[in-house]
Amino acid sequence: MLADAKDLARRGVRRYRRRRIWDAQLHPRMAFFAPMPPAATGVASYSLAVVDGLRRIGFFDRHRMELIWPPQPKHEGLAPWYRLAVYSLGNNMQYHRDLYRYACHASGLIVLHDLALDDFVRGMKGVGDPLGFVAQREAERLAPQMRSQDALRNEPLRRPWAAHVVRRSRGVIVHSEFCRRYLEEMGSQTPVFVVPHPVVVSDDDMDRARRRAPSLRAPLVARGARTVVVAPGDLNEAKRLDAVLGAVRALPEDVHLVLVGRRIVGYDIDRVVAAGGLGARVTLAPDVSDLDFHGWLCAADVVVDLRFPHRGEVSGTLVRAMQAGVPAVVSATGTYLDVPTDLAARVAPGPTDPAELAVRLRELIEDPDRLARMGAAARDHVQRLRSSEATAHGYEDAIEQTLRLVRDPARTAEARWAGALADIGVDQELLRRGYGVSYARAMEGFRAPPPDGEPPMGSPPGTGTP
């Protein structure tokens, strides 16, 4: 009797486990791995804005998705069991190392905040992580393919540091057509989804910032300022703040410059400001609250947002400035080229010439009507993005299309086959000659035809960079 009871219990446990396994297959769970507030990174506020947008369009009513931050050791083992995981990747090892490792071992949909993961890869190598060495080897192998002017001009983009994780992924979300072109240039065949950068600041917070702006601007006006130029964002070398100081020095005495943002270790902003020679015409506001940061944007007549070298990132600071209705001057490089010219003026790519920047600023300052038109157009552009929920719908579309790959019965076999071909050095030329293609063609017999009205299935994951 006891033996029968034990046998019955064992069979019940087996049935329960089988039921749980099939439940995971029939009712897929997904995961969203991304830094969230209060993590001290801009990606955290970005991720919160994305999640809020998905919630507003009812995504979480239609899909089961777990929001995971911070990752725990258990998640490395759990990641492969999610039907689809979304990984947020940036050029910061502190916040993205675990997520990068999960993305390499459990292929999913990655969000690429920076095309150049150079500092991240070097950091991985510095701590002896094998994935850092693999990423560098693949980046160096593909470097000869990067021949576009922007890739050659900006040292971090000369090697496609993200190539390995892109090849391992089922899909990639980026925020600019420039990023899509860059991934195609390095030879990636992983599906790419261009999704608008989210509007991170709420309308209520921006209204509070507008009310704060007069009190920030008043002391400058008392010292004779009629025009306020603001250079917002991380206070680092890539923002070309020395050139901004030089440009403002060439403008009339009633033009005041404000540098506002986070101090960055290794960049002595105090020394740069002292060397700029502007004296009382410059205000340094480091490490301010979000309210004051946005308040300075609203207090500005013009925002200057430059990049060199460019890392292929989309400027969240520029989106905030546009939301505030402030015209901007940007570098004519990379993702900035996707910003319409009626929303932002441009200076030549590369190291910024202070004289050219001074000319662009003077043109705007001396044309109040143009300033007003550009500011209004920028604000309207951001409001259209917000009201249409373009970011949330873009994310949902990327997730749905990637899930179609997951549901493809031949996908796993094709992905392993494609990965093996890439590992032994098969490139596009060998594929054109038919090397390894017969196996992939044989897999087509296991694939159901797409429903009426839907396009054929895209390339399987793992067929990324050859």
Q: For residues 240 and 339, state if they share a domain.
A: yes
Distance (Å) of CA 366 to CA 162, 251, 371, 377: 43, 11, 9, 19
Task: Please list, in sequence order, all residues whose beta carbon lies within 8 angstroms of the beta carbon of residue 109, skipping any fewer than 6 positions away.
Answer: 84, 85, 86, 87, 169, 170, 171, 172, 173, 398, 399, 402
Q: How many domains does the chain have?
A: 3
Last residue of a domain, one of 194, 217, 234: 194
Q: Which among 309, 348, 332, 349 is positioned nearest to 155, based on CA atoms?
A: 309
Q: For residues 83 and 124, state if they share a domain.
A: yes
Q: Is residue 86 part of a domain?
A: yes
Half-sphere exposure of 195 (CA within 13 A, CB side): 28
Q: Is residue 400 part of a domain?
A: no
Q: Per residue in 74-124, pLDDT tens?
A: 999 999 999 999 999 999 999 999 999 999 999 999 999 999 999 999 999
Q: For residues 368 and 277, state if they share a domain.
A: yes
Q: For residues 352 and 444, state if they share a domain.
A: no
Strands of the sheet containing 255-261, edge to edge, are 282-286, 255-261, 227-232, 302-305, 328-331, 344-347
Residue 414 pLDDT grade (very low, low, confident, very high; cuts 50, 70, 90): confident
Q: For residues 182 and 208, state if they share a domain.
A: no
Q: For residues 368 and 452, state if they share a domain.
A: no
The CATH number given to whatever domain includes residue 265 is 3.40.50.2000
Q: Which of 8-12, 23-27, 49-53, 250-254 is least confident?
A: 23-27
Q: Structure tokens of 306?
A: 């430059």
- Burial (0-12, 13-18, 19+ Cβ within 10 Å), 320: buried
The CATH number given to whatever domain includes residue 8 is 3.40.50
Separation CA 117–CA 99 (nearest Å): 13
Separation CA 354–CA 44 (nearest Å): 34
Q: Structure tokens of 281?
A: 């015409």
Q: For residues 140 and 157, state if they share a domain.
A: yes
User: Over the Cα atoms of the chain, what is R_g?
Assistant: 25
Distance (Å) of CA 33 to CA 1, 86, 117, 326: 50, 6, 18, 33
Q: Is residue 268 part of a domain?
A: yes
Last residue of a domain, one of 167, 194, 221: 194
Last residue of a domain, one of 333, 353, 388: 388
Residue 33 pLDDT grade (very low, low, confident, very high; cuts 50, 70, 90): very high
Q: Is residue 82 part of a domain?
A: yes
Q: Per residue in 164-222, pLDDT tens?
A: 999 999 999 999 999 999 999 999 999 999 999 999 999 999 999 999 999 999 999 99
Domain that holds residue 62: 2-194
Q: Is residue 92 part of a domain?
A: yes
Q: Which among 430, 243, 252 is positioned nearest to 352, based on CA atoms?
A: 243
Q: For residues 298 and 349, state if they share a domain.
A: yes
Q: For residues 135 and 166, state if they share a domain.
A: yes
The predicted model scores a pTM of 0.85
Q: For residues 62 and 184, state if they share a domain.
A: yes
Separation CA 392–CA 50 (nearest Å): 6
Residue 463 pLDDT grade (very low, low, confident, very high; cuts 50, 70, 90): very low
List 159's β-bridge partners, or say none.
none
Q: Is residue 403 part of a domain?
A: no
For residues 298 and 203, the answer to whether their CB atoms sit within 8 Å is no
Identify the H or E element spanning 407.
helix 390-407
Q: For residues 172 and 226, state if they share a domain.
A: no
Q: Is residue 254 part of a domain?
A: yes
Q: Is residue 393 part of a domain?
A: no
Q: Which amino acid is at 404?
A: R
Q: For residues 62 and 180, state if they share a domain.
A: yes
Separation CA 452–CA 427 (nearest Å): 34
Q: For 85, phi and psi rounded to 5 degrees?
A: -115, 140
